[in-house]
Chain A
Amino acid sequence: MITWLLILGIGAATYATRLSFITIFSKREIPAPVLRVLRFVPVAVLSAIIWPQLFLVNNAFDLSTANPRWLAGLIAALIAWRTRNVLLTIGVGMAALWILQWVLH
């Protein structure tokens, strides 16, 4: 029962967070400096999610061959940069990881 209440609470909090500024800014103008800040939100958040998943293993920095993820990620980044194709980036990135895991172990 408490778990269900907890999930409802988290759901409500998540929805409120997503709703927040859409509601606040619905009636008033958004100041120009705020808009300048917001332009950087997508690239900054997504990078901050990506990098630790590539370079950290159990919260420790790992660029050895025991961690093939950063290399597979780098290959995927090059594909994304050259082709701008989402499907190809995910496909090549996964293939690179599987091959590296197979070669290195």
Chain B
Amino acid sequence: MTTRRTAFFHGIKAESPILLGTIPFGLIYGVSARSFHLPPVLAQAMSVIIFAGSAQFVVIQLLNASVPAGIILLTACIINLRHALYSASIAPHLKQRGWSWRLLLPYLLTDEAYAVSIIHYQGPDKSPFKHWYFLGAGLILWLTWQIGTAAGLLLGAHIPASWSLDFTLPLTFIALVIPALKKRADAIAAGTAGLAALLVARLPFNSGLLVATFIGIALGLLSEGGEKKQHSSNESSATGEKQPRAQELTASEGTGMVDTQEEKRK
């Protein structure tokens, strides 16, 4: 039987492997802030007030380059626009919650907390306390980000760049995205979004990320539409029970396809 407390701790537990990637990311942020001679209080305050790693990174770089405040604000907004997508995606699951939940949880809606919570929300489990799961995942990530930042600010230059700790960020996302590729359409959306991101990387203010995301979503929808047509024509002759299995098969082919696509680019 799931209670509020167990849901909360399950959220913490589900988030904890990701913290292995968050700690070094926070460290590097703190180290970079120090190397840019940003006041440590300011750098730590950014982790509390903004609480969005990639935007914080870009902001300290732009502050260091003395870019005008208006441009920095605009850039940060564009980088964070993906959170509007997360907001829309998590919204149906928060409809039944009171306003205090709907004000608190958005503050914790980071990439990492979103990824873990949405998988739980979309999962087969019918627990009525999934918002407690989200809270657990979000709070432990928040705490880790603050500690990582503080540690990076304290350690400063003692962490050499050759350790490549920044690589833990894409690794974390790889670990989250691959198991989420359940259908062929998911793999197509992921593959095309990734390829598109390479092609539009030079667009200003990091806006390429959103362009690539929309391209991936569009192609995912298109391939899903094609799949559905095929399925409905099959359904009249075949038994319905075989369908899920067939879909699982195409799903594993799908992930394989992304890999071969990556390999082809050799």
Contacts and interface: CB of A to CB of B under 8 A. Distances in A.
Contact of B177 (A5, A6, A23, A47): A47
Given A17-B87, A42-B180, A61 B198 contact: yes
Contact of A17 (B72, B83, B102, B167): B83
Interface string B179-206: 1110001100111011111100110000
Interface in B105-120: 105-107, 109, 111, 114-115, 118
A96 B84 CA distance: 35
Interface residues of B, number: 92
Given A41-B85, A87-B17, A47 B171 contact: no
A59 B177 contact: no
A93 B171 contact: yes
A104 interface: no
A17 B84 contact: yes
For A3, A30, A34, the residue with the greatest tally of chain B CB atoms inside 10 Å of its CB is A3
Interface in A22-48: 22-26, 30, 34-48
B143 interface: no
A45 B193 contact: yes
A93 B167 contact: yes
Interface of A: 2-11, 13-15, 17-26, 30, 34-56, 59, 61, 63, 69-70, 72-74, 76-78, 80-81, 84-87, 89-91, 93-94, 97-98, 101
A55 B198 contact: yes
A30 B91 contact: yes
26 contacts: A4-B42, A14-B80, A17-B81, A19-B87, A20-B87, A25-B91, A30-B88, A41-B213, A42-B118, A42-B177, A43-B186, A43-B220, A46-B173, A47-B194, A47-B216, A48-B212, A51-B195, A52-B208, A54-B170, A55-B198, A59-B201, A76-B174, A81-B259, A90-B171, A101-B162, A101-B164
- Chain A contact surface mostly: helix
